[in-house]
Amino acid sequence: MKQIILLIIIMAASSIFVFSQTKSKKSKQNDRIAQELIKMENEWAQIDVTNDRSVFERILAPDFVSTSRSGKFLGNRQEYLADWEYEEVKSAVNSNMKVHIYANNVAIVTGIDTTRGTDKDGNEWMHQDRFTDTYIKRKGVWQCVAAQVTRIK
């Protein structure tokens, strides 16, 4: 009887150890995913400053869809690029970013993009847009497949 109780205790302890190691490994994987997606979001924000449109080709999937801050639906990456306008932005900073991971290949990033610039008359301006971007990892590469932006300021 003592041997059976000892065996049950050992099995329970080992299952807790295995579970905690699995959870720790998943947490590290999620941290890596979050870091990668936040880096991509920050690169995306800097396009407003640099006007380097080549970054879009890497970050946005060809079948990317978007709802712009004006409510316009853009049905693929090419439509988005045709609609995108360079606004002479001086700085672009993302804040309040949260990465919501739903699987090892599906995640949503939410946050606020604050851009500042000067108009053609020399007046400074500032915009804040709340965004929701959906990412899928295909063939080992994360790309945004859907985005929605709302102007909040």
Check pLDDT > 90 for residue 148: yes
Q: State the fold for domain 2-151.
A: Nuclear Transport Factor 2; Chain: A, (3.10.450)
- Render pLDDT for 84-118 as a digit per residue (tens, 0 to 9): 887 788 999 999 999 999 999 999 999 999 999 98
Please indicate, yes or no, whether the overall pTM of this predicted structure exceeds 0.75: yes
Q: How far apart (Å, rounded) are the C-alpha atoms in residues 49 and 41? A: 14
Other CB atoms closer than 10 Å to residue 90's CB: what's the count? 13
The two most distant CA atoms of the chain are separated, in Å, by: 88
Check pLDDT > 90 for residue 138: yes
Helix (H) or strand (E) holding 100: strand 89-103
Q: Where are the domains positioned within the chain?
A: 2-151
pLDDT for the residue numbered 9 = 54
- The first and second tokens of residue 63, run together, are 């079948």
Average pLDDT over the chain reads 86
pLDDT for the residue numbered 7 = 42
How many H-runs (helices) and E-runs (strands) does the chain carry?
3, 6
In the block, which residue shows the tokens 């929701």?
Answer: 132
- Render pLDDT for 23-61 as a digit per residue (tens, 0 to 9): 577 788 899 999 999 999 999 999 989 999 899 999 999
Amino acid at 124: E
pLDDT for the residue numbered 12 = 52
